[in-house]
Amino acid sequence: MSHRSRSALRARTQALAILGTTLSLPGASVLTRIGREPTRSDTLVAGISTTVVRPATDPPWPALVFMNGATPDGRSHPVVQRLGVALARAGIGVYIPDLPGVAGGELSPRTLACSVAVAEAAAGSADTADGRIALAGVSIGGTLALLAAADPRLQNRISVVACVAPFGDLAEVMRLATTGTHRDGERLGHHVAPPYLHVGLARSLAAMLAVTPATSALCRELRELDPDSGRAVELPERAFREAGADAQRLYDLLANTDTAQFDRLYEALPVHVRSAAVSLSPIRVARHLHAPVEIATAPQDRYFPITEAQTLAAASPHVRLTVTSLLAHATPRLSARYLAELRRLDSFFLRSFRAATSGPPLQSLLEQT
């Protein structure tokens, strides 16, 4: 067997181990023992609490920053931790930060700034090969990975972006969370998202307000809401009103369910909130994505319609979209009903892994799969 064939086989085996770990495939425990045991430590990276998983081999290594989605467990989520170990066994140094607000579904300019800072610090580490990193994420973590990759400080230092179920346009997420509709070309489609999206949006918008005692109190009340309680969640209208005119405009949009009123209420939002929404929308910076981008999503995602991912894929020649029912939003699932799609998801992992470890050019990988 030639060296090139051995390298290809090793890459496929390592990618399969990562896929198997993520999906909890039968026999995956055997694959995950490939490679020496990595070491894990919790530290601060750019001031952010981060789990760093280091391969057992000597540095420098290819590096990857993983940005998880909204989960109370944050970076301690079992699947996230298993994925970090599997990647490190395959020779990749992994950074898993707890980005501010993300655990509660909160996205703000501060969240993005911290994402860029962690990625920049990881790329600049002496342990990172060639000063280049891969970015990966799920749900709003995937959105953050896309936004960070387009940042001028990072766009030429990214080997690949691999994300699952990101959204592309925060304004459309606002429309979806409040009215249950989304733009699908020239028409409006219907998509009823879980209540968590509405609560996450409220937290995100409130975090964009100027900091005062009243807006801080509003943010605390919103973070105390429990969208998983099974009961209808009511936003604290009184706290919005006490936080001032800008907060009242947020409440007017969040409380609205009339599709015909959405555009008017969106335009009435404070200018700095609309500017923040633009800055947190990957579709607005897609032209600045220089690295290969791999996006995987479900055909019927619970949170974000497939049009979000399709619009991103259409906006940049660097984006490749994989659609598979083996994903339930950001959570991989193993189902006999969808096993025929396993190869498609395996190819997503293989292309992402090869690009992250400086494998063949993306075009060669596309031709292989």
In 3D space, the residue among 332, 18, 318 whose CA is nearest the CA of residue 165 turns out to be 332
For the chain, residues classed under CATH 3.40.50.1820 are 3-169+282-368
- Token duo for residue 31: 């694959």
Q: Residues for the chain: how many in total?
A: 369
Residue written as tokens 């990881």? 122
> Residue holding tokens 């979806």?
176
- CA distances (Å), 86 to each of 10, 77, 79, 245, 251, in order? 14, 14, 10, 49, 44
What stretches of 61-127 adopt beta strand conformation (E)?
A: 61-67, 93-97
Distance between CA atoms of 272 and 358, rounded to whole angstroms?
A: 40
Whole-number Å distance between alpha carbons of 185 and 212: 40
Phi then psi for 135, rounded to 5 degrees? Answer: -120, 135
pLDDT for the residue 317:
95
Q: Which residue has the tokens 């081999």?
A: 57
Residue 228: the pLDDT is 80
Residues in the chain predicted with pLDDT less than 70, given as ranges, are 1-35, 329-339, 359-369
Fill in the amino acid letter for 110.
R
The backbone torsions φ and ψ at residue 127, rounded to the nearest 5 degrees and listed phi first, read -85, -10
Q: What does each C-alpha distance from 343 to 13, 20, 250, 314, 340 come to in angstroms?
A: 13, 12, 44, 23, 7
Angle, CA of 44, 99 and 270, to the nearest 5°: 135
Q: Are 166 and 282 in contact (CB under 8 A)?
A: yes
Each residue of 213-225: pLDDT tens digit? 999 999 999 999 9
Which 3 state secondary structure label does DSSP give 163?
strand
The domain at 3-169+282-368 falls in which architecture?
3-Layer(aba) Sandwich (3.40)
pLDDT of 342 reads: 78
Give the per-residue pLDDT at 336: 58
H/E segment holding residue 267: helix 259-267
pLDDT reported for residue 3:
44
For residue 229, what is the DSSP state? Answer: S
Name which of 107, 277, 70, 44 is nearest 175 in CA terms: 277
Check: CB of residue 147 under 8 Å from CB of residue 343.
Answer: no
Model pLDDT, residue 360: 38
Longest dimension (CA), the chain: 72
pLDDT per position as a tens digit, 273-292: 999 999 999 999 999 999 99
